[in-house]
Structure 1
Amino acid sequence: EGMDSSRDHYQRVLERNPDTCWVVEEEGEILAAALGLSDRRRGFVHSVVVRKDYRNRGLGAQVVRKTIESLRECGTDRIRLFVRKRNSGVLKFYEKLGFAVEEGCHYLYDTSGTPV
């Protein structure tokens, strides 16, 4: 649910960034995805989606970790993603993955492994 409405957009991002995007599929259905973008110095987690009926099973964490790993392999200095502060459940999810709040609504991740 919620994934089909932007399927074409996600497909384009995946095709342009095959080394930094991760998808979990089952029988041709996308269950979870994290899309990473990099300009070699900076990385950005563009989007993380998990199908509603597959949430709370660790799939989101799995694809985010793989995306972070692949962005590091690209040599990024920092990895960012944007989250609304009022979305407290998602904030906790990203904090568990090593992200920290920076100036308002976005998170910053230091690829040395130390949250900032």
Structure 2
Amino acid sequence: MAVRIEPAKVTDLHQVLKDHPRYWGDRDLRALHLTAMVQEFGSTCLVARDDDGIRGYIFGFVTPDRLGYVHLVATRDDARGSGLGRRLYGAFVEAAGRQGAVRLKAITSVTNEGSIAFHRALGFAARVVEDYDGAGVPRVVFTRELSVS
């Protein structure tokens, strides 16, 4: 069966947390996986699933000033390199656009070379912002305008 991208449910979040290493390897990012995100921003928290389970996900929301913020995006270890991350971003852009988003934003650590390369390939501008996540904690901030039709 083909991969379907659809709104996430809380049970999907629990499955992602159970399989956390398959998405994030040795990095423990479970604390960033907030149930409230799925509960409150369900139309912009999406999972990609097939008969083999959840292959990837993107969790985000749209702010009142029309910014589509991507909080988390990940693909399972056996789905990497398949274009699924790009498809998830495309689905997020559509969902965020329906809510009026005109630009996108995401952040990552300055050492996350994979995320930096991925976002640049998607057309994001990237800049390092010192102290973004507290004193001495820089982050790479990605931004991209959306075409408004």
Instruction: State the TM-score, normalized to the length of structure 2.
Output: 0.63
How large is the Cα RMSD of the aligned pairs?
2.7
Tell me the equivalent position of 1:84: 109
The 5 A counterparts of 1:23-62 are 23-27=47-51, 29-40=53-64, 41-62=66-87
Matched, 1:18 2:42: yes
5+ residue gaps in structure 1?
none
The answer (yes or no) to whether the contact 1:65–1:97 under 8 Å persists in 2 is no
Larger radius of gyration: 2
Task: Give the Å deviation of 1:65.
Answer: 1.4
5+ residue gaps in structure 2?
1-18, 130-139
| Matched pairs, number | 113
Tell me the equivalent position of 1:107: 142
Task: Give the Å deviation of 1:28.
Answer: 6.4
1:86-109 CA distance string (max 9 Å, x none): 222221211121211134311011
CA distance in 1 between counterparts of 2:68 and 2:76 reads: 24
Q: Structure 1 residue runs of 4+, over 6 Å off?
A: none
Instruction: State the TM-score, normalized to the length of structure 1.
Output: 0.79
Task: Give the Å deviation of 1:75.
Answer: 0.9
CA distance in 2 between counterparts of 1:85 and 1:72 reads: 28
SS of 1:95's equivalent in the other structure is: helix
